[in-house]
Structure 1
Amino acid sequence: MHRRRRIAVTLSTAALLAATPLLTACGNDARPGAAAVVGEQRITVEQLESRVNAVRAAQRAAIKDDEGYERALSGSGQLARATLHTMVLDRVLDRAVTNAGVEVSRKDVQQLRKGLARQAGGEQGLRVAWLQQYNVPPSQLDASLRTEIGAQKLSERLGADMNTEAGQKAFWKALSEASDELDVRLNPRYGKWAVAENGRVGRVDGSTPWVRTVTQPSPAATVT
């Protein structure tokens, strides 16, 4: 189980940058007090900090020795930005899933959770694995699994084989279109939401020199 890869939501900023140059930025301004604006919803700085603190607390509880905890901290120096990336991408994926007419039931989540727990040697093993691999605290595990199932069902609805380049392209096209609909904007302190040449979407540092703004922020999304 520990080698299982999520098909969509684990695209890290580093992986996005390494894959292809980013050509366009979808937005770089958010409303005051917001870490990001996704459609009509705000992800506040307080919500982001709360999620990061939940990860830190879970890491502290899971790692008993101080030296191990310090190693975990040193390995997640970009946790706030990576967490915001996940929070935004989850909402983009949710829009793509809705657009495709896909539904994820509570039963779907429960079945996946039970299956993964068996592979991990129990619930505790599953919680630790998701925390270590994806920085998902136990309180967010069901939501993360729901996103996982949504990604899988979306790829099936699209007829996209994620083991092929064509399948990945179709999948990310759906997410890119959803991202455009939502007009994602980040607070500049966290970087920009960008589209790569291959259609993948994600957060990048605002200092990336080849990123250019292609849409002007609406009055409601401008920091004053």
Structure 2
Amino acid sequence: MVGRRHAGRVAVVALVAGLALSGCGAVSNPGAAATVGDETISVSYLQKQSRDILAKAGRSDLSDSESTKLQSDLLQQLVDDALIVPTARRAGVSASQADIDQVKSQIQSQRVVIPPDMLDGFARWVVLRRALNTKLLGREPASQQDQAKADQLVGREMAKTAKQVGVRVNPRYGTWSGGAVKPGGQLVTPGPTATQAPAAPQMP
């Protein structure tokens, strides 16, 4: 199974169910929600994912605070999706397409609310995160204590990657601090569905 700790990384799952670095920077491109190294996560792409989440969940009545948190959580996951790949590469682990497809099937069977455009990246994140847990801990986590230690180790490695490649967040969405997107910017409300879908971030 995908597991709660993995599916829960897209925090909107909890939202619709009820209805790990110092340094920060701001993007200079107003059309970018965030940049991770040379990769750009566009505002239009992030807003499309927000609309898709709400459509799949049948929600249209989010408060400003809920909408802000939704976009912040989605942006965090997209940044993590980008950071996990070079982090895994440095650790010498990889994700096979078969493993990714298996996780995608598990996600779909569990009806986890994830935008279709984010499914591949999220499934790859799950596979690579599991591999990193085992590689860095030296064994598969067998207890809550093991998992907590693995999370700490992976967080450190992702922090190193973020420092190497650079992560910048559009001030409208907050700031990048402590390995996370810290909300605090002005709410960016998803606009009407565009006639042409924005391109997804390109992963290495």
Residue of structure 2 in register with 1:180 after alignment = 163
Q: TM-score, normalised by structure 2?
A: 0.70
> For the residues of structure 2 that align with 1:29 and 1:139, how far apart are their CA atoms?
23
- Contact 2:46–2:74 at 8 Å: present in 1 too? yes
- Encode CA deviations 1:183-210: one digit per residue, 9 max, x unaligned: 1000111011111xxxxx1111347xxx
1:154 aligned to which of 132, 155, 171: 132
Which runs of 4 or more aligned residues in structure 1 lie more than 4 Å from their structure 2 counterparts after TM superposition? none
| TM-score under structure 1 length normalisation | 0.65
Could you tell me which runs of 5 or more consecutive residues in structure 1 were left unpaired when the two chains were aligned: 13-22, 61-68, 118-122, 196-200, 208-224
1:1-224 paired onto structure 2 within 5 Å: 4-7=3-6, 10=9, 24-60=22-58, 69-70=59-60, 73-74=62-63, 76-77=66-67, 78-114=69-105, 116=106, 123=108, 125-126=109-110, 128=111, 130-131=112-113, 136-159=114-137, 161=141, 163-164=144-145, 165-195=148-178, 201-206=179-184
Tell me, in whole angstroms, the C-alpha distance in 1 between the residues paired with 2:50 and 2:98: 28
Distance in 2 between residues matched to 1:175 and 1:100, nearest whole Å: 11
Deviation of the 1:70 alpha carbon? 5.0
Higher-Rg member (1/2)? 1
Comparing both chains, which one has the higher relative contact order based on Cα–Cα distances under 8 Å and sequence gaps of 6 or more? 1
Task: Look up the equivalent residue of 2:82 and give its one-letter code.
Answer: R
- Identical amino acids, percent of aligned pairs: 27
Paired residue total: 170
| CA distance 1:28–1:166, shift in 2 (3 Å) | same
Question: Partner amino acid for 2:156?
Answer: K
Pairwise CA distance, 1:37: 1.1
Separation in 2, partners of 1:143, 1:41: 14
Q: Which runs of 5+ in 2 are unaligned?
A: 12-20, 186-204
Relative to structure 1, the CA distance from residue 70 to residue 8 in structure 2 (aligned partners, 3 Å threshold; closer, same or farther) is closer
